[in-house]
Amino acid sequence: MYKIGIDEAWRWPWLWPVVACSLTFDLNNLPDSDFLKQLNDSKKLTIKKREKIFNELVKLSNLEKPQVYFWVWIVDNFLIDEINIKQANKEAIRRSLIEILRKIDNKKISWVLIDGNDNYVFNELPKKPIYVIGWDAKILEISAASIIAKVFRDKLIDTYGLLYPSLWVESHKWYWTKKHINYLTDKTRITWIHRISYKPVKKVLEQKPKLLLHICCGPDASIPIIDLKNDYDITCFWYDPNIQPKSEYNKRLKAFKKVCEIENVEFIEWEYDVENFFSTIKWLEKTKEMWEKCKKCYDMRLKRTAIEAKKLGIKYWTTSLNISPHKDINNIFEIWDKYSLEKNLEFLKIAFRKNNWFLRSIEYCKKNNIYRQNYCGCIYSDTFHKK
């Protein structure tokens, strides 16, 4: 009579498939007693010892007259996400059981013993299995099945470790680890082996990516914030030392803060290092608007924004500079490309001036009584002298 033992591995981690193994010995052709004495709960054996026993069990199953019959089945993380881990675990056990039933005389099965307390019922069996907890070390068939499942799992982990060295999978064989938690900072870190239905992974997946949005004034901040905040966790960055005089700068800063308060977004106010601005455009003061003087101004402000994004660990960044039809959008995109490559950032190349964003910002300012300026901010601009 055959006694089938079943165990599974990988039920609780946040990633990869679940593995189940069904195993039985030929009672008329048992392995050597010294070998059977080595069988124990797989968790109580060293890795080296488990692998040695695993190799021997494989060898015994491939004899002309096998002394052991076993089958391993895995259910991948995609099905786990679809039907939940309990049902996926049942399916892995069921399929491993079906395969082993093909190798033995079904009429000679005395018991089917499963480690755990799930209480599954299988139509493939004439009677319900017996569920036992903590008997991995007491029932040889379960001990052996446990060893097969764990070693098979570990060999898969070694492969996953080669694919994802930053995931620290070698220390995540049973449960999650602090290293894994620290790794899952945003949804770009989620891999194809993660179980996306598990709460910690799902939380990261649903988390909005962070975006650093450089703002040049309150009116130009309004519509970009409104249209981007549904998809991004926005932090606005104020760095505009090109604005003079200081009284004008203060009006625009106040308007910017008011928009952030209305739209409930965080902001960072950088220093008013106006000397840096004058130094940056030195000898270019009298050049035409949107020429080299303006390009130097864009570069100074976007460089500082890129540095801040890198410092804060924010991958995505963009600017409201291009909402105005008075700015050279090609120059802005060129600078974006340069600092995105240099700082390893992802910029949102959005032409905010399209789709009536400029007109919408005018309406927003009227509705919310937001101060709206009538020149770009630079005292050397054409519009400043036309005031």
Q: What pLDDT, on the 0 to 100 scale, is given for residue 165? A: 84
Q: What pLDDT, on the 0 to 100 scale, is given for residue 249? A: 93
Q: Going from the N-terminus, what domains does the chain have, and what CATH number goes with each?
A: 2-171 (3.30.420.10), 210-385 (3.40.50.620)
| Burial class of residue 359 (count of CB atoms within 10 Å of its CB; 0-12, 13-18, 19+) | exposed
Is the model's pTM score more than 0.75?
A: no
Residue type, 125: L
Instruction: Considering only CA atoms, give the Rg of the chain.
Output: 33
Q: Strand locations in the chain, DSSP E?
A: 2-9, 18-25, 68-75, 109-115, 130-132, 210-215, 233-238, 266-269, 316-319, 346-347
Q: What pLDDT, on the 0 to 100 scale, is given for residue 332? A: 79
Side-by-side strand order, sheet with 346-347: 266-269, 233-238, 210-215, 316-319, 346-347
Which pair of tokens denotes residue 110?
């005395």
Low-confidence stretches of the chain (pLDDT < 50) are 384-385
DSSP strand pairing (316-319 vs 346-347): parallel
Q: What pLDDT, on the 0 to 100 scale, is given for residue 212? A: 94
Q: What pLDDT, on the 0 to 100 scale, is given for residue 148? A: 93
